[in-house]
Structure 1
Amino acid sequence: MSLPAFAELLERLVFTPGRNAKLALLGQWFAQQPDPDRGIGLAALTGELTFTAAKPAMIRELVASRTDPELWRLSYDYVGDLAETVALIWQPRAGVNAPPPTLAEVVEALETTPKAEIPALIAGWLDTLDAGARLALIKLVTGGLRVGVSARLARVALAEWSSQAVEEIEEVWHGVAQPYTPLFRWLEGQGAPPDPRDAPIFRPLMLAHPLEEADLAALRPGEWRAEWKWDGIRVQLTAGPGGKRLFSRGGEDISAAFPEIIAAMDFHAVLDGELLVARDGAVAPFADLQQRLNRKTVTAKMQRDHPAVVRLYDQLFEAQEDLRALPFDARRARLEAWHARTAPPRMDLSALVPFDSIDTLAGIRDGARAASIEGLMLKRADAPYVAGRVKGLWWKWKRDPLTVDAVLMYAQRGHGKRSSFYSDYTFGVWREDGELVPIGKAYSGYTDEELGWLDRWIRNNTINRFGPVREVERGIVFEVAFDAAQLSSRHKSGVALRFPRIARIRRDKPVEEADNLATVMALVENRPAAD
């Protein structure tokens, strides 16, 4: 597949909003493109294709060598997206007439070319491509496709194209490396299913639906089991003769960031649980866990200061025995017996919460905030472990969100479809001395109409610029909903909000009447007594 063909696919995916239409585009592409290019493209779409030598900073330096600096600054400020700006402003050298590279040629060249020669390599490709293909190339090498295709959607597209069950594809997905040639051979009926054997592969997680009032009214207490919904990240632990891996809920390998958990996985099993930071048995705020996330290496000091543990929910495999078809109660009994027998360090069991009525359960849930817990999980006693989000088997019953009135301080353009709009908003509250200090950033919760209005207001009320960030007049108040407030040394205010989103724009409220920092600090959970 040539880069122009891949560029056409990306463009069509961006401007095709419907899920079924995206599935059809992907299926057509799988059927028409050759190996290994279709597998490389699939890896790029699902975030599995990464390059270490081609960074955005290198792309900026490259285009700066061919463009007037002021023209580049103005263009980048107007367009708001690095790849799109470079694609439009790039001036090819005269006389270049080489054919565009295939995806396989791009991958091979980036993996084998010395780092010092990478800029010239990419410049040569950009000289051979039109604007659309240049955009695709830069997005490809910097890992910023954002075309609305998740790994799950890609697997569903493979299933519909091949008439193979998506559950079967998910079982082998993480056991096959890109460009997925054995996978495509199997899906086309030309080979056996890939066999992951004892490889530490990711198994699709079972997910929960939010509990609504109608669902709550239909619950029969005796048929359900309750657990706390802990405020960490969902993980899967996979260990056996073939190795050990710690996966995030999306299947990302996060083993390198948590070596102490990997060291504790001296067993042969697949487990489901919540990754937390805990000290002396007490779960720390999510902000502490954030210090450990997205790291490729972690120091001994970081491990001491932010000790990671896993609170186990479920067991999918014991050795080679698949437990997922068993009802929840049976799996829970197996997990408890396994844990008592194995006693893995840094791992405990998430306790079941006893209740005899829905009213009792509601009262327990109302106390979740005081205990710094997100809420409750409800699981049918007879439910098997089913991949994906199957309604009626697992519910999540989160505590009600908190709200605060905050003032818009800074705005930045978004990504993808929002790259031309100021859609990312930093907001703050008043300190006692009258200074406005930031407490968070949000980029969801508003309608398209409200986004258009905010974008116009921001452009007309900018008072300062810091690269891509605009500082604005103090004129907009947001009602911000959030799950928790936590102490944060990264914010000047000393506090940060957990999962903030815009609940509404308070056009009726003067900025002087927005909330103050003391109000927000009073909502902080696990706050040291000295404060």
Structure 2
Amino acid sequence: MSKRASSQKSPPGKTKRAKLQSLTGQSQIDHFFQSPNANGANHDNFKSLTSPGSSYKFKSKIVPSPEIIDVDSLDLEEAETLPGPSIIEPKSPPVAEWKKVEFRFSVTDKSQVESEQAPCEYLPLDIDPILYDPESQPSRSAQAPYSLLTHALASLSNTRSRVAIINILTNVIRTIVTKYPSSLLAAIYLLSNSLGPQFIAIELGLGSSVISRSIQQISGLSAAALKRLYNSTGDPGDVAFAAKSNVRTLIPHAPLSISYVFESLLKISRCKGHGAAKEKQKIVEKLLLAASGEEVRYLTRTLCQNLRVGAVRASILTGLARAIALTPPTIPNDSVALYVPSDLLSELRRTFPSKKKLLDPNREKLSSIYKRAEGLIKQVYVKHPSYDQIIPALLENGFDSLAERVPLTVGIPLLPMLGSPTRSLSEIYQRLGELPFAAEFKYDGQRAQIHATHQPERKPNVKVFSRHLEDMTSKYPDVVNLVAAMFASSPSLISFIMDAEIVAIDPASGALKSFQELSGRARKDVDMKDIRISVCVYAFDLMYLNGESLLDQAFVNRRGLLRTNFSPRGMQDDQTVTARFDFVESCESGEGRTAIEEFMVRAVENGCEGLMIKLMDHKNTTEETAAAKEKRMKSLPATYEPDIRTSGWLKLKKDYIDGMSDSLDLIPIGGWHGNGRKARWWSPVLLALWDPETGRPVAICKCMSGFTDAFYISMKERYSLESDLCSKAPIWECDFGGFKPDVYFKPNEVWEIRGADVTESPVSSAAREKFLHGRGLSLRFPRFIRTREDKNVELANTPSNLVSIWKSQQGKNDHGNDDGDLVDIEAERRDSTDDEVDGLDFSDED
């Protein structure tokens, strides 16, 4: 994208150069201008201009300086060597030495500068979209102002209401579609706190030191002063806002635009090699200098990749769908039912607010349109999760033929289908009844989505993606070679998308190894000659074959095509098997329940986590006469449903049938200072579920059992107060309920936790809205099992999962309620023991 246009023309006349040696030793920034107002907004730097004409000068101020500095004589390139570009603060001599100093600069058009620099008074965004007029928002430039996006981010951070969040997103997107359509893609990425699709590795690579040095440079504050600010606020955005609140630049900066901010972030991500840190710092300083008021706060949070707003992917997609439905970028052609007619909108405005006690047919029509539009956008996104193609398609033709214009594509990973947890085989038979299903080994490996295309006389194009869409092709060069061999042996094979599990195996016997063995392989740029861990690709589903999507076909058909077009094989390197391909081991329900039970035992004996139960096909609806059964059948699809946890796939883990405990994937979000021999570490640790509705973790319980000393040490290194992952203040968006940890962790990893059972708790807020008496759910006697490196925080268990487990166990036990502070009794006893007891090993390792 093009760079921002300057807000003013260059001063007339030849530029003079001044010697700056006397200035380079200054370490503070001069607060020549008035303090900001109470709300922290940036003042117009030109309000104090007094004389008319093309040359103006500031009102005189008493400043401590022995010399007069003519700003027109400064060369901007040389000025970059100062502590802050175009900002100067002299040292503080005795008051007796102070004298009046005038600063002069030239501009060509006072009205232009004043109009661009004065802060915009934006209209509220949280109102009902039917009352909102995108044209009414003020605009002063052809490019979308970053201040508009900041206004939306500030509004989002001030509410927890999902209705308000959706309204804000809908209205700000409508404004951008109407006034600045070319900035919509950048705005969506900035709202989602990302720089591109999940499957493209774009990282800012900004450490806290670069950001803190940049804030020091533009504010003149010392590192100690910034540290005090951070300790008092706990948020880098608040620190930057406070640090820059009194800074005024002598040479005004053009207002930031959304496109310019986004392009600057991309430029930062592209800085590599020697001098990259210095170059990144220059870009950050330039952004922070040009930012004003709340822009500073949210720009800094964006640089830290922690916006602290409640806009998650689902909310952004909903807002985008409603915005296009209300404000079509083009004249609708085919998809009229997805747009809100102008007469319906006028009628809704006329009768607003409608009486809630009575059904409003117009509101129902609007809700129906919203639902269809949201369904289409989400359907397209889960199959093609890239705004790079979705946004241009929407701006070009709206909803018309959107699914055909942005289809399932080889090379762009779709969101994977998910399984619903179950507790026993009895529950599975209760859910599925007589419907045929297949039981498959649930391997202890890494889920992989393999995309491949092949053209004659060309090398196959192969991509391997993780379950959270990260490109891990360079991690598995042996798998890439394996796929190339498939094309070589099957001339009719052109392209495919396959769902599989990559598992570590013994190269000689093919015996399964644990996930820990697989995690020993480097994460990227693996060389074939360096491979020491052999793998097998166990394929279990086929979503695309030779140009045709298979998502809408029943599992029995997809599996048939998988086994018809592919065959087991192995790849060798110097007589050593480095990679194999095979199908998951499975058993059919038609073989009887006894066979399924024996198959489960064999899965556990082979080191698997349990079984995956998959519905083979839809039952013939004419054979079902009961309405209840028909309703249940509709919720049991045998199709491939991206990003949905359905009853068509059921997960039965060995922990459940062992009758020992429940297993949940939880997020560490805080910790307490340990006692006794654990005083050096964090113990216990606060764990949380992921709430997809609010887009943040919600605390559930403490855990202090199952950790080894080695794990405690590594955890303390990761979550040290000097790192970016730990803070004394709650700077990351989490619902802590009644828990008050000593330190707070950045939600960034998932742990597998086993507990005795789920119980009610007055402290936990997890699933609290499900209970009339205001109590949440907690996990009794939680114990750490392992780190789930194959999952990110959004794939952790949800409050709905916890409620399902809690309901299923009702009547089976009577453990009473959790007081919110239950811990493992044995671990508590060990913690209270003196460290110096002779000959005793207090490790939590089994």
Relative to the length of structure 2, the TM-score reads: 0.48
Residue of structure 2 in register with 1:448 after alignment: 736
Question: Where does structure 1 lack aligned partners over 5 or more consecutive residues?
Answer: 463-477, 487-498, 523-531
Partner Cα distance (1:270, 1:145) in 2 = 34
1:480 corresponds, among 763, 774, 782, to: 782
Alignment correspondent of 2:539 = 312
Could you tell me how far 1:54 is from its partner in structure 2?
4.2
In structure 2, C-alpha distance between the alignment counterparts of 1:391 and 1:399, rounded to whole Å: 20
- Residue-by-residue CA offset, 1:141-183 (whole Å, 9 max, x unaligned): 3433354444455344434444441355227734663794234
Residue pair 2:539, 2:583 contacting (<8 A) in 1 also: yes
* 1:392 and 2:647 correspond: yes
Write out per-residue CA displacement over residues 75-102 of structure 1, whole angstroms, 9 at most, x where no aligned residue.
3344444344334334563235424311
1:340 to 554, 558, 567: 567
C-alpha distance in structure 2 between counterparts of 1:384 and 1:365, whole Å = 24
- Bigger mean CA deviation after superposition, 378-387 or 283-292: 283-292
* Alignment CA distance shift 1:202-1:427 (3 Å): same
Aligned residues: 480
The superposition leaves residues 331-355 of structure 1 with CA deviations (integer Å, 9 ceiling, x where unpaired) of 1121112222887854321111355
CA contact (8 A) 2:449 2:500 kept: yes
Contact 1:236 1:248 in 2 (8 A): yes
Alignment partner, residue 269 of structure 1: 496
The correspondence for 1:506, drawn from 822, 825, 838, is 822
CA deviation profile, 1:119-139 (whole Å, cap 9, x unmatched)? 233223323434532232123
Question: Quick check: 2:552–2:639 contact (8 Å CA) kept in 1?
Answer: yes
* Corresponding residue for residue 135 of structure 1: 297
Retained in 2: the 8 A contact 1:209–1:396? yes
Distance (whole Å) between structure 2 residues aligned to residue 176 and residue 109 of structure 1? 19
Name which of structure 1's ranges 422-431 and 341-350 shifts more when overlaid on structure 2: 422-431
Matches within 5 A, 1:61-100: 61-65=213-217, 66-90=220-244, 93-95=247-249, 97-100=252-255
Structure 2 unaligned segments of length 5 or more: list them. Answer: 1-143, 197-201, 325-337, 339-372, 456-460, 488-494, 572-578, 618-637, 664-673, 720-725, 727-733, 745-779, 789-795, 803-817, 834-839
Q: Is contact 1:211-1:395 (8 Å) kept? A: yes
Query: How far apart in 2 are the matches of 1:447 and 1:362?
Result: 41
Q: Match for 2:421 among 210, 214, 237?
A: 210
Is contact 1:2–1:103 with CA below 8 Å preserved after alignment?
yes
Are residues 218 and 119 of structure 1, via their aligned partners in 2, closer, same or farther at CA, if it must alter by over 3 Å?
A: closer
Match 1:201 to one of 412, 416, 431: 412
- The verdict on how the C-alpha distance between 1:36 and 1:309 changes in structure 2, with shifts beyond 3 A counting, is farther
CA offsets 1:185-214 (integer angstroms, 9 cap, x no match): 233659995356965222332222222565
Residue 173 in 1 paired to residue 384 in 2?
Answer: yes
Is the 1:328–1:380 Cα contact (8 Å) retained in structure 2? Answer: yes
Deviates more, 1:16-25 or 1:511-520: 511-520
Q: Partners of 1:183 and 1:400 in 2: how far apart?
A: 47
- Tell me which residue corresponds to 1:27: 170
More strand by share: 1
8 Å CA contact 2:384–2:409 kept in 1: the answer is no
Q: Deviations over 1:297-323 (max 9, x none)?
A: 33556x513444422110111211222
- Compared with structure 1, are the counterparts of its residues 450 and 228 closer, same or farther at alpha carbon in structure 2 (3 Å cutoff)? farther
8 Å CA contact 1:233–1:276 kept in 2: the answer is yes
Distance 2:236 2:701 in 1: 17
Q: Is the 8 A contact 1:183 1:194 kept in 2?
A: no
Note the 1:223-302 alignment, pairs <5 A: 223-241=436-454, 243-266=461-484, 267=487, 268-280=495-507, 281-292=510-521, 295-300=523-528
Aligned residue in 2 for 1:372: 607
Q: Which amino acid aligns with 2:302?
A: L
User: Could you tell me how far apart the structure 2 residues matched to 1:348 and 1:340 are?
Assistant: 7
Q: Residues 381, 181 of structure 1: CA spacing in aligned structure 2 closer, same or farther, 3 A cutoff?
A: same
> Which structure is richer in relative contact order (CA contacts within 8 A, separation 6 or more)?
1
Question: Match for 1:47 among 189, 194, 198?
Answer: 194
How many angstroms apart in 1 are the aligned matches of 2:598 and 2:205? Answer: 54
Quote the Cα distance in structure 2 between the aligned partners of 1:6 and 1:369: 52
Residues 201-254 of structure 1: CA distance to partner in whole angstroms, max 9, x if unpaired?
223322222225655423336511111222233221111148332222233333
The one-letter code sitting in structure 1 at the alignment partner of 2:613 is L
How far apart, in 1, do the equivalents of 2:249 and 2:172 lie? 33
Tell whether 2:160 aligns with 1:11. no
Is 1:125 aligned to residue 255 of structure 2?
A: no
**SS of residue paired to 2:447:** strand
Conserved 8 A contact 1:430-1:517: no
Cα drift, residue 450 of structure 1: 3.9
1:108 paired to 2:263: yes
| CA deviation map 1:362-420 (0-9, x unaligned) | 5654665554322211111101222232533111122327779x97732799999999x
For 1:98-122, what per-residue CA distance to the aligned partner results, in whole angstroms no more than 9, with x for missing partners? Answer: 2431121123345558754442332
Residues 311, 350 of structure 1: 8 Å contact kept: yes
* Equivalence for 1:489: none
Q: Provide closer, same or farther for how the CA distance between residues 269 and 92 of structure 1 changes in structure 2, counting only shifts above 3 A.
A: farther
Query: Take 1:81 and 1:283, find their aligned partners in 2: how far apart are those partners?
Result: 46
Task: Check whether the contact 1:272–1:312 (CA below 8 A) recurs between aligned residues.
Answer: yes
Describe the shift of the 1:256–1:42 C-alpha distance in structure 2 as closer, same or farther (beyond 3 A).
farther
For 1:108 and 1:447, locate their aligned partners in 2 and report how far apart those are by CA, in whole Å.
33
Superposition pairs for residues 428-467 of structure 1, below 5 Å?
A: 438=712, 448-452=736-740, 455=741, 458=742
Contact 2:170 2:319 in 1 (8 A): yes
| In structure 2, C-alpha distance between the alignment counterparts of 1:296 and 1:103, rounded to whole Å | 33
